[in-house]
C-alpha cells in the first residue's frame, strides 16, 4: 500500500508540474505577438492608447457591416473575381465612412504618442539599421488618401519587430505600414488606407 501511495503521490506531483509548466507557457504565448514581446504602455499614456482602441473598435464594427454586405467569393475564385470582390469591398467601406478624414482613428494625442515611441526606436543603437530596413522598400513619394486603394504595383514596407513591439496590437486584417514618412493604417483585406500619421519616420 505504501509503495502504491508513493507512486500515486509522485505521479500527482509530476502531473501538477506539467500543468504549471503548460499554464506558464500558455501565458507567455498569449503575451507574444508576431513581433515578439510587446512593450508596455507607460501608465500616464494609457488613456491615449485606450482612446485609439475605442476608435478602432468603432471602425471594426462599421467594417463588419460593410464587408458583410459584399457577396463573398468562393475558394475557387478567379483572379478577376477576387479583384471585383476587392473593388466592391472598397466601395462598401468608402460609402460607410464617406465623411472619414485624417485623424479619425489616429487622434492627435495618439499621433504624438506614436511619434514619441517611434523616435525612441530609431534613437536606439540599432535604430539606423531598423530605419534602413524600412527604407529598402519604402514607396517614398507615393500619394495616399483616406478610403483610397493602396496601389497594387507599390510594395508594402517591411515592419521590423522593433517597430511593431511599441505599437498597439491591431485586429485581424489591419496592418501598420510606412509610405514615405507617413505611418498608415492599412486594411489588408480591402487593400485600402484607413488613416495615417505624418512625420512618423524621420528623414524619409
Most confidently predicted of 39-48, 97-106, 141-150: 97-106
Q: What does the pLDDT look like over 23-77, one tens digit per residue?
A: 333 332 222 344 446 778 888 899 999 999 999 999 999 999 999 999 988 989 9
**Sign of the alpha-carbon torsion through 102, 105, 107, 113:** negative
SS3 state of residue 55: helix
Q: Are 165 and 39 in contact (CB under 8 A)?
A: yes
User: Which is it for strands 192-197 and 182-187: parallel, antiparallel or unpaired?
Assistant: antiparallel
* Sequence-ordered alpha helix ranges (H) in the chain: 2-31, 46-68, 79-96, 108-122, 127-135, 161-164
Domain boundaries, the chain: 43-197
What region, left, alpha or beta, does residue 145 occupy, with left being phi > 0 and alpha being psi -120 to 50 degrees?
beta
Q: What does the pLDDT look like over 5-32, one tens digit per residue?
A: 444 444 444 433 333 333 333 332 222 3
C-alpha distances (whole Å) from 112 to each of 54, 65, 106, 147, 164 are 17, 31, 10, 23, 17
Amino acid at each position: 500500500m505504501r509503495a502504491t501511495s508513493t507512486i500515486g503521490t509522485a505521479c500527482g506531483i509530476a502531473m501538477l508540474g506539467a500543468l504549471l509548466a503548460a499554464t506558464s507557457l500558455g501565458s507567455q504565448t498569449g503575451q507574444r505577438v508576431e513581433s515578439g514581446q510587446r512593450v508596455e504602455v507607460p501608465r500616464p499614456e494609457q488613456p491615449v492608447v485606450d482612446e485609439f482602441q475605442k476608435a478602432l473598435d468603432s471602425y471594426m464594427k462599421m467594417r463588419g457591416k460593410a464587408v458583410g454586405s459584399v457577396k463573398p467569393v468562393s475558394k475557387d475564385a478567379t483572379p478577376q473575381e477576387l479583384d471585383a470582390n476587392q473593388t466592391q469591398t472598397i466601395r462598401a467601406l468608402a460609402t460607410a465612412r464617406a465623411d472619414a478624414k485624417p485623424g479619425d482613428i489616429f487622434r492627435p494625442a495618439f499621433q504624438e504618442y506614436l511619434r514619441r515611441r517611434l523616435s525612441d526606436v530609431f534613437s536606439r543603437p540599432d535604430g539606423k539599421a531598423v530605419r534602413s530596413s524600412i527604407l529598402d522598400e519604402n514607396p517614398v513619394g507615393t500619394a495616399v488618401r483616406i478610403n483610397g486603394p493602396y496601389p497594387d504595383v507599390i510594395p508594402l514596407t517591411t515592419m521590423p519587430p522593433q517597430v511593431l513591439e511599441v505599437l498597439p496590437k491591431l485586429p485581424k486584417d489591419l496592418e501598420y505600414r510606412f509610405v514615405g514618412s507617413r505611418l498608415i493604417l492599412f486594411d489588408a483585406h480591402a487593400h485600402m488606407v484607413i488613416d495615417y500619421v505624418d512625420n512618423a519616420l524621420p528623414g524619409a
